[in-house]
C-alpha cells in the first residue's frame, strides 16, 4: 500500500512486542501503566503527532499511529516504559500501512492472542481509543479502523465458535464442576483452599457461573483470603479449621503454592462424597486420598488437557474468522482509498465539465438549431461514466493509488495547489 493521505504524517505504523517475540520479563519492561499512557499521549501531541493508539496487556504492548518514521513511536514507547531501544530491537516488530491494518484486525479479533479466540483484547482497544480521543489524538482514519475491528470481533464471536469452551485452567475447573453437578451445583458446599492467581481466577469463575452462595475460602495468610472474599461477598475461615471445613464440603478446590502435599487421606474424616480438584503446581493433594471411598480426585493435568482439546477445536474455526476479517478489512480499504482519491475524482469531474462547457459554447455559435438541453444531458452522462470508470479503477485492491492519481493529474493537467486545498478541506 502506498502513502495514506489521512494525516500530515505519511504512513501508518504499529510498533510493539508480544508473547510471540518477548518473554514475560522483557514484556514487563515495556509495560505502560495508566500514568505512563497519559504522559505518552501528551508527549505525542507535543511532538506534532496527530493520531495515536496504545494497547498494553500482560501479553503485548503496542503503539499504532501516523508518523514520518517509526522511530518517533519507538522513542515514545522507550521513554515512558522501562524498556530500552536495544531491548526493543531484539524482540519488537514494526508494521507499516497495509500490514499494520491487517495486524490490528488479527489482534482485535483474538486470532493473535496467546489463547486463540480470547476476546478480552477488544476491550483494551476500546479503552486505548477512548483515552486517545479524550486528548484529541484520533482522526477519521483511526475512528473508522477501530470501529471496523470492533465490528469484525462481534461478528466472529456471533457467527463462529472460535471462543467456545474452556481455555483457562480456572474456567475449565468450573466447567468440570458444572458438568458433574449440573443443576445441583448451586446447593453444594464449595471450599477453596489457596488464593494465589489460579485460586483468585477460579473464585471469580465460581461466583460468575455457579450462582453458589456456599463458597468458603481458606488461606494460610487470612488477610489475603479476606480481600478476595470481600470482593465477592464470601465466607473466610481460619487455616486451623481446614479439616473441619473439608468435612462439610461437597467440592474441595486446592490452589496453594506449597511445595509438598497439603491435603492427604489423614485429614479426610468424611461423612459424604467429596470431589477434589488439585490446581496446584506442584501437586498439593496426595494420591492416597483416592483410597477413601467416595473421593474423586481431578488433577490440573487433566483440566489442562480439556483446555488443549478446546484450543484444537477452536483452530477449526480460524478460516471462518479470517473470511469475516477479509470482508470487513476490504470494506475499510475501499473506504480509505475512496477518501484518498475523492478530491482527484472531483477535480477530474470539474476538468471534464470545463471541456464540456467550452465545447457547448463552440457548438452553440456554430450550429443554428443547436439543442443545448439534449447536448448537456448527453455530455453529463458521458462525464459520469468516465469518472465512474476511474473511481472503480482506484477502488481496486491491487491498484497503486498514488501512481494512478499522479497519472490522472498529469494527463488532465489538474492543478496540484488547488487539489491540495480541496484535500485539506476534505479531511477537516
Grouping H, G, I as helix, E, B as strand and the rest as coil, residue 278 is strand
- Residue 110 near residue 121, CB atoms below 8 Å: yes
- Residue 279 near residue 300, CB atoms below 8 Å: yes
Cis peptide before 282 (omega within 30 of 0): yes
Residue with cell 522483557: 26
Residues paired with residue 251 on neighbouring β-strands, in sequence order: 190, 275
- Confirm whether 203 is a catalytic residue: no
Angle between helices 222-232 and 197-210 (to 10 degrees): 30
Helix and strand totals (H; E) in the chain: 16, 10
Q: How far apart are CA 428 and CA 419, in angstroms?
A: 14
- Residue 314 near residue 164, CB atoms below 8 Å: yes
Q: How far apart are CA 404 and CA 412, in angstroms?
A: 12
Residue with cell 481496486: 396
Q: Which of 56, 58, 78, 203 is catalytic?
A: 58
Bridge-based pairing state of the strands 215-218 and 190-193: parallel
Residue with cell 500500500: 1
Q: Which H or E run contains 422?
A: helix 416-427
User: Which residues carry out catalysis?
Assistant: 58
Amino acid at each position: 500500500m502506498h502513502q495514506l493521505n489521512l494525516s500530515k504524517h505519511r504512513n501508518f505504523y504499529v510498533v510493539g512486542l508480544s508473547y510471540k517475540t518477548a518473554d514475560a520479563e522483557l514484556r514487563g519492561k515495556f509495560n505502560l501503566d495508566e500514568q505512563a499512557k497519559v504522559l505518552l499521549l501528551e508527549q505525542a501531541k507535543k511532538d506534532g503527532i496527530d493520531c495515536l493508539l496504545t494497547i498494553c496487556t500482560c501479553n503485548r504492548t503496542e503503539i499504532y499511529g501516523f508518523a514520518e518514521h517509526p522511530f518517533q513511536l519507538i522513542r515514545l514507547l522507550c521513554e515512558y516504559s522501562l524498556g530500552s531501544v536495544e531491548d526493543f530491537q531484539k524482540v519488537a516488530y514494526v508494521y507499516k500501512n497495509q500490514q499494520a491494518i491487517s495486524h490490528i484486525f488479527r489482534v482485535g479479533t483474538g486470532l493473535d492472542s496467546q489463547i486463540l479466540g480470547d476476546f478480552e483484547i477488544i476491550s483494551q482497544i476500546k479503552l486505548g481509543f477512548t483515552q486517545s480521543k479524550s486528548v484529541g489524538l484520533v482522526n477519521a482514519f483511526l475512528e473508522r479502523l477501530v470501529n471496523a475491528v470492533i465490528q469484525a470481533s462481534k461478528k466472529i464471536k456471533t457467527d463462529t465458535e472460535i471462543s467456545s469452551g474452556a481455555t483457562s485452567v480456572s474456567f475449565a475447573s468450573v466447567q468440570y464442576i458444572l458438568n458433574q453437578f449440573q443443576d445441583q451445583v448451586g446447593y453444594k458446599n464449595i471450599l477453596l483452599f489457596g488464593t494465589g492467581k489460579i485460586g483468585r481466577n477460579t473464585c471469580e469463575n465460581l461466583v460468575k457461573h455457579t450462582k453458589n452462595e456456599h463458597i468458603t475460602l481458606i488461606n494460610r495468610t487470612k488477610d489475603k483470603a479476606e480481600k478476595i472474599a470481600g470482593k465477592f461477598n464470601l465466607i473466610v475461615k481460619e487455616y486451623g479449621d481446614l479439616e473441619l471445613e473439608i468435612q462439610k464440603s461437597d467440592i474441595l478446590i486446592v490452589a496453594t503454592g506449597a511445595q509438598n502435599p497439603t491435603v492427604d487421606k489423614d485429614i479426610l474424616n468424611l461423612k459424604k462424597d467429596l470431589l477434589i480438584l488439585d490446581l496446584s503446581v506442584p501437586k498439593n493433594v496426595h494420591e492416597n486420598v483416592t483410597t477413601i471411598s467416595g473421593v474423586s480426585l481431578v488433577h490440573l493435568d487433566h483440566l489442562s488437557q480439556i483446555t488443549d482439546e478446546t484450543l484444537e477445536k477452536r483452530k477449526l474455526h480460524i478460516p471462518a474468522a479470517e473470511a469475516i476479517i477479509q470482508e470487513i478489512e476490504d470494506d475499510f480499504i475501499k473506504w480509505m482509498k475512496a477518501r484518498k482519491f475523492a478530491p482527484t475524482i472531483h477535480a477530474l469531474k470539474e476538468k471534464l465539465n470545463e471541456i464540456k462547457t467550452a465545447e457547448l459554447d463552440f457548438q452553440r455559435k456554430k450550429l443554428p438549431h443547436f439543442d443545448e438541453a439534449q447536448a448537456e444531458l448527453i455530455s453529463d452522462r458521458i462525464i459520469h461514466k468516465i469518472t465512474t470508470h476511474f473511481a472503480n479503477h482506484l477502488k481496486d485492491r491491487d491498484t497503486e493509488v498514488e501512481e494512478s492519481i499522479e497519472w490522472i493529474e498529469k494527463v488532465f493537467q489538474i492543478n496540484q495547489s488547488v487539489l491540495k486545498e480541496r484535500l485539506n478541506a476534505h479531511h477537516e
